[in-house]
Amino acid sequence: MKQYQDIFERYEKKYLLTKEQHAALMHELKDIVHVDQYGETTILNIYYDTPDHRLIRASLEKPIYKEKLRLRCYGIPEPDSPAFIELKKKYRGIVYKRRTDMTYEQAIRFLASSDDGASSQIEKEIRYFTRVHSPLSPAMVIACERTAMAGNADPELRITFDRNIRWRDADLDLTHGSEGKPVNDSDAVLMEVKIRDALSLDLAHLFCDLSIYPTSFSKYGTAYEQMTAEKLQKKVRIYSYDRTLIWDHHGKQCYHGRRLLGSNRLLSGNRASHRASVLP
């Protein structure tokens, strides 16, 4: 018998907490929630995307419908460790998640294959998703330390706290560890409240008293933006354009010269091949 839930339909509210807010909230939550059977866990995900990152770019535009595919492990896996392939969709604020389990090695092979082989309805849906968005491949690893909690009076209430969120876009094999670059403010704690309907009044008042407000935050989306900014910055460091004054054969000042940053050496190029332009 399966020991996990494979179909979800719920609201997921996200909050970014400071260390002080997190400490104060944990003190107040002790009578409302308890650490569940998963307790403290290292979460590792491989997010799948197209070579041009079409899925995450579409998600960052905040459409009313968005979807993503990931492979999740709890702890650094071995080839025969349990793994979950998760198809996550969000429509008008409601999150729909469907997942299937297999070993890590089987999951990697399943997602890399274009065969139609699928033994369950969820696997068929995942296979359809991979065909529609082909070609998909591992795009990024996201890892974090998670504390998972469940409601005392409401068993459907779940609250998770993610710390030390990190990412890498190379060496996308979870068996190689959970190392990565920190996502933005590494001291912040991401809280997710997962509920079937509305937030209870007790929690709403508690969050308000501690100045805790919902926010839009995507681990993969934030890491992708950070990765893109780093790559752009790297290109700027390699090549810098400056407004170099030279004289053309007509005696006019004109712009020419792409220079290495920090160097006075002009890169290769034929001055005569550039059109002269008068500088202001």
What is the per-residue pLDDT across 208-230, written as a single tens digit (0 to 9) for each? 999 999 999 999 999 999 999 99
Together in a domain, 172 and 36: yes
Structural domain of residue 252, as residue ranges?
242-273
Residue 119 lies in a domain: yes
Residue 153 lies in a domain: yes
pLDDT band at 106 (very low <50, low <70, confident <90, very high): very high
Task: Give the pLDDT score at 271.
Answer: 44
Together in a domain, 220 and 258: no
Distances (CA, A) of 134 to 50, 68, 79, 168, 240: 7, 13, 25, 22, 36
Query: pLDDT exceeding 90 applies to what percent of the chain?
Result: 69
pTM as predicted: 0.82
Report, as an integer, the average pLDDT of 76-98.
95
Give the count of domains, the chain.
2
Tens digit of each residue's pLDDT (9 = 90 or more) over 33-54 = 999 887 799 999 999 999 999 9
158, β-bridge pairs: 150, 194
Together in a domain, 204 and 165: yes
Together in a domain, 183 and 265: no
Residue 33 lies in a domain: yes
Cβ(210)–Cβ(189) under 8 Å?
A: no
Together in a domain, 82 and 131: yes
Together in a domain, 217 and 257: no
Residue 85 lies in a domain: yes
